[in-house]
Amino acid sequence: MLSTSGTTAPALNGPLLRGGNYDIAATGNRPTLVYFFAPWCKFCAVSSDNLTRLRRLRDDDSLEILTVVLDWQDRDEVRDYVERHKLDLPVMLGDNRIAQDWQVYAFPTYYVLDSDRLIHRRDLGYSTQFGLWWRTWFVD
């Protein structure tokens, strides 16, 4: 995983599942949770609800939440996952370059960035709703 010792987050841009493009550099100065998942990952499936509930606790102005799908076969597989888990968050269609740049080797992986795009926290594996809230609360 990338270091949390003052490391600036790598570039992150690409197509969104529901159309358009995402560029982390254009999101403004607010903390960001970047959550990497795979549609076949059972731990990712279990934690999807926690992301949705976190969105209800932290509004879009105070925390950007981006999910990035990696290790996927086609858009239908991703769409099925999103619909099955009622994931109402932006889903960026990632690729191997993004996985390498962000050093994602297992799922789920997530990074919490501060408003300057410095990596503040990072983690791997399942996290509870409270765990996600706690990790993102003290970031500015």
The answer to the question of residue 5 being in a domain is no
The 10s digit of each residue's pLDDT in 110-135 is: 999 999 999 999 999 999 989 998 88
The 10s digit of each residue's pLDDT in 27-43 is: 888 999 999 999 999 99
Distance CA 49, CA 98 (A): 24
Domain holding 71: CATH number?
Answer: 3.40.30.10
Distance CA 86, CA 110 (A): 19
pTM of the model: 0.95
State residue 61's pLDDT score.
Answer: 86
The 10s digit of each residue's pLDDT in 50-109 is: 999 999 988 888 899 999 999 999 999 999 999 999 999 999 999 999 999 999 999 999
The answer to the question of residue 7 being in a domain is no
Q: Buried (b) or exposed (e) across 92-112, using 16+ Cβ within 10 A? A: bbbeeebbeebebeebbbbbb
Structural domain boundaries, residue 56: 13-137
The answer to the question of residue 107 being in a domain is yes
pLDDT of 5 > 90? The answer is: no
pLDDT of 138 > 80? The answer is: no
The answer to the question of residue 46 being in a domain is yes
The answer to the question of residue 2 being in a domain is no
State residue 59's pLDDT score.
Answer: 84
The answer to the question of residue 122 being in a domain is yes
The answer to the question of residue 82 being in a domain is yes
Domain tally for the chain?
Answer: 1
The answer to the question of residue 61 being in a domain is yes
Distance CA 90, CA 20 (A): 10
